[in-house]
Amino acid sequence: MRFHASTISRVSHLRNKAPISCQASAKPQSNHKQGCNFGIAFDIDGVILRGRVPIGGSPQALRRLYGDSGELSVPYLFLTNGGGVPETKRAKELSELLEVNIMASQVVQGHSPFRNLLKKFENELIIATGKGDPALVMSEYGFKKVLSLEEFASYFENIDPVSQYKKWTSMPLSNKKAPSVPIYDVSSERVMAAFVVSDPVDWGRDIQVLCDVLRSGGLLGDANNYQPPLYFAADDLEYQAAFPYKRLGMGAFRIALESVFNRTSAKSLEYVTYGKPNPFVFKNAEIILSQLRSSSCQNPYENNGVLGSQPFKTLYMIGDNPSVDVKGAQQAGHPWFSILTRTGVFRGKDNHTEFPADLVVDSVEEAVDYILKRECVESGS
């Protein structure tokens, strides 16, 4: 049963057959004594941030998940389809923007599961594209032979016939890399896989070069029917950035690439997409939250000094995108509980019709307030 709750207690009562019994005025309790049989996954764009600006009272909301001495009292992580920088860097950026201490292990980005492909491509030549530093992301995961698509393209004169018109790509001369000798011999060494790590910046060039690479078996000019594997970190059609209206995301780029490729090739494009709403993302989040619980929260199921591995009672997904965040939590099933905020992609008054959340709130602050009351945890802030 799904609700767009205007009254929180009604939602709780209906869904779990137990009304919220803790009152806002209840005496603060120690989270450590309370234990952590719940956890929280926060979407970033449209829930925590819009562009680089915190929204929905996110800094205050996050502060409530820490104890008096700054230790984590509720296991939580960020589950975003965004990315483009290593998790360590993203954690540092988020810590600065949100004024709480965020660990790299609490940041799961769309491309984080690319690590699992290391066995397959560790020593193979791969290309990576997207905003930020996609090649650095892949190198930090352990891939040994990574070229950004930009660098790969730079080794082929005139590969992009309109590049001279792209004044917007100009950067101060001091930042411009001198034409370099290719690190890898791209005229003889095959690209074995292509990764769309984050939202592509130059769609035209990327579509052109990816078509070249994928149609030629990874070696430009080669007549080869084999298509190297293509991986997308996410498949969001739209997302909430700094602009007030929704912006096209990686899913839109995928559609553009796919339609051009399919019109210009004998075979249809083959690809794999990661990120929410894939159920494995939520499974993985559950594992990480469980590790965070073991390392940061006293486990109520502790037995003879051995931390129990009791499953979570509830895991909350707080998101702004019904077809990504809510659909993902729904597909993942128990113990996931979806909370939809009105601060991003979704702005409806009532619940979303196709992917109704378990709860709809105005902001992440309201969502955290609801969770802490429902879980009978009163924070000090």
Stretch that binds ligand G3P, among 66-74, 216-224, 231-239, 300-308 (CB under 6 A): 231-239
Q: What residues does 115 pair with on adjacent strands?
A: none
Site membership for ligand G3P, residue 199 (CB under 6 A): yes
Residues 330, 338: contact at Cβ < 8 Å? yes
CB neighbourhood size of 145 (10 A): 18
Show contacts of 239-245: CB within 8 Å, 24+ apart. 239/45, 239/46, 239/81, 239/82, 239/321, 239/344, 239/345, 240/45, 240/46, 240/50, 240/320, 240/321, 240/343, 240/344, 240/345, 241/45, 241/50, 241/51, 242/50, 242/51, 242/52, 242/53
The answer to the question of residue 43 lying near ligand G3P (CB under 6 A) is yes
Nearer to Mg ion, 43 or 150 (CB): 43
234 binds ligand G3P (CB under 6 A): yes
Binding residue count for ligand G3P, defined by CB under 6 A = 14
Check if the beta carbon of residue 110 is closer than 8 Å to that of residue 312: no
How does 297-334 read in b/e, with b if 16+ C-beta sit within 10 Å? bbbeeeeeeeeeeeebebbbbbbbbbbbbbbbbbebee
Residue with Cβ nearer ligand G3P (31 or 81)? 81
- Residue 249 binds: one of ligand G3P, Mg ion, none (C-beta under 5 to 8 A by kind): ligand G3P
Q: Three-state SS for 132? A: coil
In three-state secondary structure terms, 234 is: coil
336-to-111, 263, 285 alpha-carbon distances in Å = 22, 41, 11
234 binds, among Mg ion, ligand G3P, none (CB under 5 to 8 A by kind): ligand G3P
Residue 254 or 373: which CB sits closer to Mg ion? 254
Shortest reach from residue 14's CB to ligand G3P, in Å: 28
Check residue 91 for interaction with ligand G3P (CB under 6 A).
no
Contacting positions for Mg ion (CB under 5 A): 43, 45-46, 320-321
Interface residues for ligand G3P in 314-333 (CB under 6 A)?
Answer: 321
Q: Which does 80 bind (CB under 5 to 8 A by kind): Mg ion, ligand G3P, none?
A: ligand G3P
Give the bridge partners for 303, in sequence order.
Answer: 306
Smaller CB separation from ligand G3P, 80 or 227:
80
Q: Look-up: residue for tokens 């609700």? A: 3
Q: Which is nearer to Mg ion, 86 or 275 (CB)?
A: 275
Q: Does 227 bind ligand G3P (CB under 6 A)?
A: no
Q: Which stretch binds ligand G3P (CB under 6 A): 37-45, 138-146, 175-183, 307-315?
A: 37-45
Among 20, 41, 44, 372, binds ligand G3P (CB under 6 A): 44
User: In the bound complex, what is the minimum distance in angstroms from residue 305's beta carbon to ligand G3P?
Assistant: 38
Q: The tokens 């791969």 sit on which residue?
A: 126
Q: Which is nearer to ligand G3P, 172 or 244 (CB)?
A: 244
Which residues are within 8 A (CB) of 362 and not within 5 positions of it... i.e. 6 or more apart?
56, 341, 342, 343
Interhelix angle 203-215/250-264, rounded to 10 degrees, is: 50
- By beta carbon distance, the residue nearest Mg ion is 46
Nearest to 210 by CA among 268, 274, 257: 257
Instruction: Return the amino acid letter for 319.
Output: G
Q: Does 45 bind ligand G3P (CB under 6 A)?
A: yes
User: Of these, 236, 286, 369, 375, which contacts ligand G3P (CB under 6 A)?
Assistant: 236
CB of 319 to ligand G3P, least distance (A): 7
Please, which residue, 79 or 127, has the CB nearer to ligand G3P?
A: 79
Q: Residue 375 binds which one of Mg ion, ligand G3P, none, with CB within 5 to 8 A depending on kind?
A: none
- Taking the CA atoms of residue 348, residue 351, residue 356 and residue 362 in that order, the dihedral angle to the nearest 10 degrees is 70
Q: Segment contacting ligand G3P (CB under 6 A): 23-31, 78-86, 90-98, 305-313?
A: 78-86
Beginning with the edge strand found earlier in the chain, give each strand of the sheet holding 272-273 in spatial order. Answer: 145-148, 125-129, 193-196, 230-232, 272-273
Please identify, using beta-carbon distances, which residue of 160 and 286 lies nearer to ligand G3P: 286
User: How many beta carbons lie within 10 A of that of residue 208, not counting itself?
Assistant: 18
Q: Which stretch binds ligand G3P (CB under 6 A): 75-83, 266-274, 330-338, 352-360?
A: 75-83
Residues engaged in binding ligand G3P (CB under 6 A):
43-46, 80-82, 199, 234, 236, 239, 249-250, 321
